[in-house]
Chain A
Amino acid sequence: MPTSSIVASTDLDRADELRHVLTRRLDEGELDLPLLPHVANQVLTLAHDPNADAGKLATLIQQDQALAAQILRIANSPAYLPRSPIVSLQQAIAWLGLNMLAGIAFSVSLQSGVFKIVGYEREVQLLWRHALATGLYGKEIARRLRHNVENAFLCGLLHTIGKPLILHVLVSDRQRSMRLPWSVLEPLINEFHIPAGVRLAEAWALPDPVQETIRFYQDDRYHEARSPTKGAVITCLADHLATFLLDPAEMEEDALRALPVIRDLNLYPEDLTALLDLADTVRPSVECLIV
């Protein structure tokens, strides 16, 4: 996401003030964590229930009309190429698959729920777009490694869940009429999103591999992750690939190819080329998942 290099001194003062507030609230556990939306919570539970079936998920999603409508829209989008129009939730579930649908339902209910931040809709959408691309790339990296891909989407989708949370906290801490420039907010979001995301993940009791990914997905931390799902290291690369896809000005291909995480995943140049070739598949999938 582009950041203006010119930051007014008053903005710097504001940034210092906000940093102080965020530090104190994180230290004192006063982050005012939003509750996980009821439907998202149940979807997550259901996705990890070995007895889950399409009928249960359809019943759950039907409780939220907006969510049901979004899922039907996504299932009918060109990115998922339905053989015939998808007209029912049962049909959508069968077409997209239980796990993918659970991820979509989770993502949609968060986008339109707790993290709908008035005045910053565009920025939040950019954050979600990046998270979705990370989730989709995560699956492909895992597949390339002949590793189980099951957790990769959720790890990628939620690895920066602390970012909208920090934005939510910063914005709700100010008078709504005082719109803070993104150039002030973005560095703070980047600085605090991991501890905030960890708190949120614990409060929401997200699966252990997801919590570990949030904590350790960055380049200088993934070595500390211990989960055999490799969520953190896979998400680290997926995060870079998402940046390269959505904001190519941020990273040149040579710089991407030189990332240590690629070596640490033992991906050879032809493996990375194959992943980059997936851009035309990942991009439309991301767009159709955005609410």
Chain B
Amino acid sequence: MTTAHYDIVVIGSGPAGQKAAIQGAKAGKRVALIEQEFEVGGACVYRGTIPSKTLRESALQMSRFQRTAEVFEFKLRDDVKVASLMSRLDHVVKTHGRLMNDQLTRNGIERFHGRARFATDREVQITTVEGTSLRLRGEVIVIATGSRPRIPESIPVDHEHILDSDSILSLVYLPKSLTVLGGGVIASEYASIFAILGVQVTMIDTADRPLRFLDQELTDEFFAAFYKSGGRYVGGQQIEEVAWDGCSRVVTRLKSGETVLSEKLLVALGRVANVESLDVQAAGLDLTSRGLIPVNHQCQTPVPHIYAVGDVIGPPALASCAMEQGRRAVRHALGLDPGLDPEHIPMGIYTVPEISSVGLSEQEAVGRYGGALVGRAHFHEIARSQISGMTNGVLKLVADPTTERILGVQIVGEGATELIHIGQMALLNRLHVESFVDTIFNFPTLAEAYRVAALDLLQRRPSRSSVISRDGL
């Protein structure tokens, strides 16, 4: 077997792998990119981010149509097919895939279609889909193989009645009822999407509320919208058994004695790194106890010329972070300045309504500064929200109680994932609350919420009543 030599070999073409490869190519290096699927993009494009957001957008459009049906005197079909909701997906995915392919080609990156396995710490063997093998040698190797849904052994996922977050995207029809196991990001996103589509959704999780890592005000708002759509959350529960009754219902028995029946069940209990077929031991690497590849803050593994980026190294498992990890890892490997450590990375959660956060939450600010100035803008106060009929939501501004410098922004409501970037820029530029009061925004826009929240914060300031002490929370 002949061995081809490259400066950099990247395994996996999701957001992390792509950016690693492009960074290498832009630095003038010869780069090979290995992908086991046909197209580049990874789970992000084909099984995760892009498809679920497309479904979400279709669900929202349908919800808007339903709300305005009486005004425009039309009626939607009762039996909306999932295929119809996903009709734009193929176009979106193909367009995205073509753009990524063009970008890789433009940068002279050589692509290989096959499954990669370490032969040594410098060599990777590729088995193609036809069964042939070839070997690549890389001076630097970047592992970016991503993740897949975690399925506990006790849950019999059959992709027919009991689904994971991959197979739920190929549902043939909308079920009447859906149980969602989990209370994290993926669980909350799908639960809220199916709820607005009219499916009776029950979320079950061990935590007392979903998205526990977020400010409770945000989850309360999400909760209210979810319940209004007919959803139900059963928290603080352990699963005793999940089984299909062999007839028409999935039966979920809880240790509390409660039984939940549903037509389908979605298992959304986190993700696991795709490392099995890599044989990382052959490269001198061991996995962490959680099955992840261990790295330092430069995404460098204990084998110095091997880097790992994206979901394969664990949290935060955000596509945006993964891209930056890929870029920085290769810059570090090539001895180039990676730039300042990224600060204030926003988090976007595509629930209905959207949730987004950057910087410190109120609780975190109190913990770090001994108190926090807080201002809020409720979306029903914002003209643009009234116009678009999306009045559920709140923007929360958190500031240092002494200097009034902005420390964090949390938003729940439609447009949150876009709106957050104004707050992110304020944080990066260390702006003070008054900057938002002095700035003129377009009217009517959702961005006006920043000004409203800043005014609310400043209005509370003279009495200092909004400086919440640690004891006050």
Contact = CB atoms under 8 A, between A and B. Distances in A.
Identify whether the interface residues of A are mostly helix, strand, loop, or mixed: loop
A48 interface: yes
B158 A94 contact: no
A179 to B, nearest CB: 42
A267 B83 contact: no
A142 B159 contact: yes
A51 B173 CA distance: 13
B438 interface: no
A209 B172 contact: yes
Given A150-B160, A228-B90, 5 more contacts: A50-B173, A147-B167, A147-B170, A148-B160, A149-B159
A230 B163 CA distance: 17
Given A147-B167, A268-B129, A97 B159 contact: no
Contacts of B130: 258, 263
Given A147-B167, A148-B171, A54 B248 contact: yes
A52 B37 CA distance: 38
A247 B405 CA distance: 76
B176 A150 contact: no
B86 A228 contact: yes
B133 to A, nearest CB: 11
A146 B247 contact: no
B115 A268 contact: yes
B159 A148 contact: yes
Interface of B: 36-38, 47, 83, 86, 89-90, 115, 127, 129-131, 158-160, 163-164, 166-168, 170-173, 175-176, 244-248, 263
A50 B175 contact: yes
B38 A266 contact: yes
Contact of B127 (A50, A51, A208, A269): A269
Interface string A214-236: 00000000000011111000000
Closest 3 CB pairs between A and B?
A148-B170, A269-B131, A50-B176
Nearest to A50: B176
A48 B173 contact: yes
> Is chain B's binding surface mostly helix, strand, loop or mixed?
loop
A143 interface: yes
B166 A146 contact: yes
Given A50-B263, A97-B247, A148-B172, A266 B167 contact: no
A266 B129 contact: yes
A283 interface: no
Interface string A144-180: 0011111100000000000000000000000000000
A139 B131 CA distance: 24
15 contacts: A50-B263, A54-B247, A94-B245, A95-B246, A143-B158, A147-B170, A148-B168, A148-B172, A149-B160, A150-B160, A150-B171, A227-B83, A266-B129, A268-B129, A269-B127
Nearest to B51: A228
Contacts of B166: 146-147
Interface in A61-75: none
Nearest to B249: A53
A96 interface: yes
A98 B129 contact: no
A241 interface: no
Contacts, number: 83
Query: Residue among A98, A228, A230, A262 with the most chain B CB within 10 A?
Result: A228
Interface string A225-255: 0111110000000000000000000000000
Contact of A228 (B83, B115, B246): B83
B168 to A, nearest CB: 8
A93 interface: yes
Contacts of A263: 129-130
A111 interface: no
A229 B171 CA distance: 8
Contacts of B89: 228
Nearest to A53: B248
B246 A257 contact: no
B198 to A, nearest CB: 11
Nearest to B244: A97
B167 A148 contact: yes
Given A99-B160, A147-B170, A266 B248 contact: no
Contact of B90 (A95, A149, A226, A268): A226
B143 to A, nearest CB: 19
B37 to A, nearest CB: 6
A72 to B, nearest CB: 16
A234 to B, nearest CB: 11
Nearest to A153: B160
B248 A98 contact: yes
B164 A97 contact: no
A142 B171 CA distance: 12
Contacts of A52: 248
Contacts of B131: 257, 268-269
A146 B167 contact: yes
Contacts of A54: 247-248
A96 B172 contact: no
A208 B81 CA distance: 11
Interface string A82-98: 00000000000111111
B28 to A, nearest CB: 33
Interface string A259-285: 000110011110000000000000000
B172 A150 contact: yes
Given A52-B248, A263-B129, A267-B129, A229 B159 contact: no
A140 to B, nearest CB: 11
A268 B113 CA distance: 11
Contacts of A48: 173
Contacts of A95: 246
Which interface residue of A146, A209, A227, A262 has the most chain B CB atoms within 10 A?
Answer: A146
A256 B247 CA distance: 36
Contacts of A150: 160, 171-172
A62 B263 CA distance: 25
Interface string A35-62: 0000000000000101111100000000
